[in-house]
Amino acid sequence: MDEQALTGVRILDLTQFEAGPGATQLLAWLGAEVIKIEQPGIGEQGRTSSVSPGGADSQHWLHLNANKRSVTVNLATAEGQQLLHRLARTADVVVENFAPGVTARLAADYPTLADINPRLVYASIKGFGAGRWQDFPAFDPIGQAVGGALSITGEPDAVPMKPGPNLADTGTGLHAVIGILAALHQRARTERGQLIEVNLQDSIVNMSRMAFAKQADSGRPATRTGNRNLLRSAPSGLYPCAPGGPNDYCFIYTSRAPGRGHVQWVNLLDVIGRADLAGDPAYATPELRRDRADEIDAMIAAWTRTLPKLEVMETLARHGVPAGAVLDTCELATDPDLRARGMVFEIEHPERGSIQLVGMPIRMSDSPTTYVAPPLLGAHTDEVLGAALGMSGDELAQLRAKGVL
């Protein structure tokens, strides 16, 4: 199809690092025109956030900025701010995740831009929401800590552990996208834009609701249980598989629902050759199995250690027992199903040649995603300012000579 869901929507991307760029990349994949405003000669900080051969853009940046157009504008200059304001008149959405106070200093804050364009949807991503910490800086681990994720991750008697995925950054970016799409839908009725505010702490709190449910049940803070779910049932955890490498494990989990969980338990016993225990009253309920978790774990591990993790997973799943092999990034990058779905893909980059990126996780029947390589710094400056603002080559050359572009 010629159009995607967000075809015709123009987004000014004033973001950096992960939470903001991840959000705007998703909007670009949905078909929006995303114009990334960057500092001339330097670019967004994420471009150089990790060591790259020959000074090329970092892998960190490449994985968050596909399908965008890069325009260099020095927002610290009056002329640069005027250009941003002219672009804002043509835009539908602005997304920013600067440190607190920066947008006001750059004349890029919501009151300023909304006065220029009342239809503008403006999404602001911060570390903290309104309150005593609102001016504090934050990155993903900080958001995970203050949102509760670390307190419920790790082994029961060990220190809190940061989850591996960047849950605060990615989760906050997703919350921002949800707000942007809802605001665009509302604007179709009201003709008014609005301010959307999301932050890392609130996003982690939102994703930790089951921990709050446990607190409500017990009256105590939710605790770390490692890979087990001992508050509910057994088995629940990681089991070692052959040949014993660092990620040769399979996670096995049986439902705590009495009917379904018991069927899964019985099927598990059949698979591991312990069908003799299926009618044993000592294992009849999730609570009884929870109390015998160590014994059950040893019994299952004796079977899993004899097989590769994918065979363990697939054998159990075919018998209706939930199981998932622990897959590392190299295994995922070469997984045939992920590649066939486009979740991992290759694309040609003008400096790096063929690069591998992670793709769009949402499938839409009438809005297929196509991929464009992440742009070089300022690659679209003349094209965007010429088309969007009608600026001539001479005007652009003069601004470039003054360091505005």
Coil, strand, or helix at residue 93? strand
DSSP string, 315-379: HHHHTT--EEE---HHHHHT-HHHHHHTSEEEEEETTTEEEEEE------TTS-----PPPPTTT
Kindly state the tokens that stand for 287: 């609570």
Q: What DSSP state is assigned to residue 198? A: E
Q: How many CB atoms lie within 10 A of CB 11?
A: 24
Q: CA 165, 167, 173 angle in degrees (round to 5)?
A: 125
Residue 335 among the catalytic residues: no
Which of these is catalytic: 13, 92, 109, 169?
Answer: 169
Kindly list the distances between the CA atom of residue 74 and the CA atoms of 39, 78, 97, 404, in Å, as whole numbers in the listed order: 5, 9, 17, 5
Kindly state the tokens that stand for 296: 């059950």
Residues written for the chain: 405
The set of catalytic residues is: 169
